[in-house]
Amino acid sequence: MQFTARYADGRTALRHDVTIYVGSDAVSIVDANGTVLDRWPFRGLRLAEEVYVGQPARLIHADKPDANLLIEEPDAVRLVCQRIPGLGGRYLGGLRTGQRLLLWTGALIAVVTLVVVTVPQLAGASARFVPKPWAQALGSAVVESMAPNTCEGSDAMRALDSLVERLTSGRDNPYPIKIRVARDDTVNALAAPGGHVVILSGLIEQAESGDELAAVLAHEVAHAELQHPLRGILRAAGLGLVASAFFGDLSGLGSIAADLGQHAMMMSYTRDDERAADRIAVEMLNGADLRSVGFVRFFERLRDANGSPSEDPDSTIYQLFASHPMHADRIRLIKDLGTGTQPAFTGEEWAAIKGVCKR
Amino acid sequence: MRKAAAQGRIQHHGTGGELFVIMLMNVVLKILTLGLYHFWGKTRIRRYLWSATEFDGERLEYTGFGLELFYGFLKAFVVILVLVLALGFGQYHLSQFSPTAAGALIFAFYVVVGFLVCAGMYGARSYIVSRTRLRGIRFAQTGSAVEYAMKMLGYGLLCLVTLYLAVPFMRNALAGYTLNHTWYGSQQFSYDGKGRDLFGRYLVCWLLAIPTLGISIVWYLAAEMRYVWDHTRAGKVTFGLDLSGGALFGLLLTNLLIIVLTLGLGFPWVLTRSLRFTMSRLEVAGKPDYAALRQTTVESPSTGEGLAEMFDLAPA
């Protein structure tokens, strides 16, 4: 095969009109007088840059510093790129911009999906490698910032601690559970890393019986036992890290998308976690021979009263209600599995708890 | 005859769509490599932009490698790390004896870092220029990054003292130093501009800066660009730039609109249209003597623009 080309030898800026002969293992460069100017073996031959549709191609060679061969005829460019082994990598003349756009958009979607699915899982799974003191310190910090106004009342706290004691006795809990009651009108209870569980006073006010409170508490203790809060934080952090590191350069759009994705992740993952926590909670209630019917009653009542009582979807702590849609199957699970018979608190205990945040 | 000749001797063929695909690809590969592809992606973008730039029917060639940028970054990272550690160590020991000395140490740290950044900017250009080839002949930059940094810091101080009235002198001096040390093969560029020629124009824009909320500076920038190109030559080749302040303002304003309206996704189009805009306004007179133009003998820097990269100062 022979083509016309223009040759720069890398010593002066002069271009020479040449004919190149593409042999079986080398390209010969011959000038108008028939003088062979150089011979470039295929080995070491490269395209100087990506060649797009209609763009001239430049050949360079590893052993020929600064020299290059310019081929301008589109057909010649295509043939040379096909003929010489290993040269095709930078030849993009076969695909138009739109086709490559589609290709890489597909790749982006695939990769993002992969990352969004695997990174949070890996990050969540790494929870068990976090040293206990770290998790406890992190939990303390979270609790301090989320629920700074603690209610003190020794009778109430004794009653709650005794309930937790009964719920967790004989179970393999990674951290000792630390209960506190915080003054906050939100109807909620939270689990933070390191075994911290916070009951907000709004929940105590809304609960009609000790069983209802005990059920919610069992649910949060189950989250704590399963290390869900730490896993949740690590998941969110992992995804946030990936998002900010790699989408930062695309635009503000990337970080917005990443933020939305992060929240969607938190929600969908916690749904699985919720089921697991429900099961453990019922197990704990059964183990202590406590009635689990309060669980169902409380959620049903809340759902009827005000559709979704949660307010802050940004919280990294487990949000009881935003992520607790009481589906029929969850209610059934609790109803079917609950075997306990005893009330959670005595009358005096329940009264003390009810009054713990009263000024 | 190529149709290029009718449109001016310098042209840019890059399209926003193609650049967008490259940037999209870079994002995918960066995710897969935990961000490491950044340096290779940057190289890829440059290769595209260079090969889309045509002078007299010949396209520029970018010969840099991603690995060079990566090494440059690592080098700069180590330098900054050592400096920060030294600062911390010094602070710890000095603060017990003399708070004044500890304060002076912090000041010294900032001066050193400032100096490194200025030198790094010259180094970055040195790298980029040395990786640019036309007709098989490399561009090169001589001169010393230290000298450049001294000039920059000295003039910077002067600017502060004179309420920025010294800016045209600073910019002229820096442009002059850079251009006079730029080579295309054996051909040296030269610049004979004077800061005082720019001062009158700058003074008007400086006085108008507050009432126009700083927009008057665009008109100065256009004037400065025209002046710098007018006073630049490479042997028999001279340059000119047909750019009015209004045209530059229009470009910047539309660029801003594109970025805002597309939430930043329009960046590739902004970049390519700006390049086309500038290059189509560049006028070149005189023919280089290609046969007499020999390969440069200037040694190229082996790693790229680390410090400028760290402080996000390196171009595109």
Whether residue B136 and residue A50 make contact (CB cut-off 8 A), yes or no, is no
- Predicted local distance difference test score (pLDDT) of residue B306: 65
- Predicted local distance difference test score (pLDDT) of residue A259: 56
Give mean pLDDT, residues B60-73. Answer: 94
Task: Judge contact between B73 and B306, C-beta under 8 A.
Answer: yes
This prediction's pTM: 0.74
Residues A277-305 pLDDT 10s: 888 988 999 999 998 777 777 766 666 65
Residue of B nearest to A243 (CA): B31
With CA atoms as reference, report the closest residue to A166 among A354, A356, A344. Answer: A344
Whether residue A12 and residue B290 make contact (CB cut-off 8 A), yes or no, is yes
Nearest to B30 among A11, A56, A246 (CB): A246
Min Cα distance A78 → chain B (Å) is: 18
Residues A326-351 pLDDT 10s: 556 677 777 788 888 888 899 899 99
Task: Judge contact between A73 and A88, C-beta under 8 A.
Answer: no
> Chain A contacts of B17, Cβ < 8 Å?
97-98, 101
Please determine, for residue A209, whether its predicted confidence score (pLDDT) is greater than 90. Answer: no
| B contact test, residue of A250, A253, A255 with most B CBs within 10 A | A250
Give me the helix-helix angle, A252-287 and A228-247, nearest 10°: 170
- Helix/strand/coil for A44: coil
Residues B284-296 pLDDT 10s: 999 999 999 999 9
b/e burial code for range B120-155 (CB count within 10 A of at least 16 → b): bbbbbbbbbbbbbbbbbbbbbbeeebeebbebbbeb
Can you tell me the distance from the alpha carbon of B179 to that of B189, in angstroms, rounded to the nearest whole number? 6
Residues A139-175 pLDDT 10s: 888 888 877 888 888 889 999 999 999 999 888 888 8
Nearest to A97 among B17, B62, B288 (CB): B17
Residue of A nearest to B131 (CA): A66
Please determine, for residue B9, whether its predicted confidence score (pLDDT) is greater than 60. Answer: yes
| B contact test, residue of A6, A7, A12, A118 with most B CBs within 10 A | A12
Can you tell me the distance from the alpha carbon of B120 to that of B7, in angstroms, rounded to the nearest whole number? 37
With CA atoms as reference, report the closest residue to B112 among B148, B157, B72, B80. Answer: B80
Min Cα distance B127 → chain A (Å) is: 16
Can you tell me the distance from the alpha carbon of B43 to that of B29, in angstroms, rounded to the nearest whole number? 13
In the block, residue with structure tokens 């970018």 = B62
| A contact test, residue of B1, B21, B261 with most A CBs within 10 A | B21
Rounded to 5 degrees, what are φ and ψ at B75? -60, -50
Under DSSP, the state recorded for A319 is P
Nearest to A49 among B21, B61, B291 (CB): B61
- Predicted local distance difference test score (pLDDT) of residue A266: 46
- Predicted local distance difference test score (pLDDT) of residue A6: 95
- Predicted local distance difference test score (pLDDT) of residue A256: 52
Whether residue A49 and residue B35 make contact (CB cut-off 8 A), yes or no, is no
| Mean pLDDT, all residues of chain B | 91
Residues A75-112 pLDDT 10s: 899 899 888 888 878 888 878 889 999 999 999 999 88
> Chain B contacts of A12, Cβ < 8 Å?
137, 185, 290-295
Please determine, for residue A116, whether its predicted confidence score (pLDDT) is greater than 70. Answer: yes
With CA atoms as reference, report the closest residue to A138 among A276, A201, A232, A265. Answer: A232
A-B CB pairs within 8 A amount to 112
- Give every CB contact of residue A63 below 8 A, 6+ residues apart in sequence: A41, A44
Q: Does B137 touch chain A (CB under 8 A)?
A: yes
Q: Does B57 touch chain A (CB under 8 A)?
A: no
Please determine, for residue B153, whether its predicted confidence score (pLDDT) is greater than 80. Answer: yes
- Predicted local distance difference test score (pLDDT) of residue A221: 92
pLDDT-derived band of residue B213, with 50, 70 and 90 as boundaries? very high
- Predicted local distance difference test score (pLDDT) of residue A323: 47
- Predicted local distance difference test score (pLDDT) of residue B206: 95
> What residues pair up with B58 in beta bridges, in sequence order?
B55
- Helix/strand/coil for A70: strand
Within the 101-130 window of chain B, which residues sit less than 8 Å (CB to CB) from chain A?
A: none
Residues B177-197 pLDDT 10s: 999 999 999 999 999 999 999
- Return the higher-pLDDT residue of B21 and B1: B21
- Predicted local distance difference test score (pLDDT) of residue A246: 60
Q: Does B72 touch chain A (CB under 8 A)?
A: no
- What number of residues does chain B have? 316
Whether residue B288 and residue A13 make contact (CB cut-off 8 A), yes or no, is yes
Give mean pLDDT, residues A244-260. Answer: 52
With CA atoms as reference, report the closest residue to A215 among A304, A348, A333, A315. Answer: A333
Nearest to A66 among B31, B133, B265 (CB): B133
Radius of gyration from C-alpha coordinates of chain B: 22
pLDDT-derived band of residue A249, with 50, 70 and 90 as boundaries? very low
Nearest to A253 among B18, B44, B264 (CB): B264
Please determine, for residue B314, whether its predicted confidence score (pLDDT) is greater than 90. Answer: no
Residues A21-70 pLDDT 10s: 999 999 999 999 999 999 999 999 999 999 988 889 999 999 999 999 99
With CA atoms as reference, report the closest residue to A211 among A340, A303, A356. Answer: A340
Whether residue B291 and residue A12 make contact (CB cut-off 8 A), yes or no, is yes
Can you tell me the distance from the alpha carbon of B211 to that of B207, in angstroms, rounded to the nearest whole number? 8
Can you tell me the distance from the alpha carbon of A30 to that of A47, in angstroms, rounded to the nearest whole number? 20
3-class secondary structure per residue, B6-52: HHCCEEECCCHHHHHHHHHHHHHHHHHCCCCCHHHHHHHHHHHHHHC
ipTM for the whole complex? 0.84
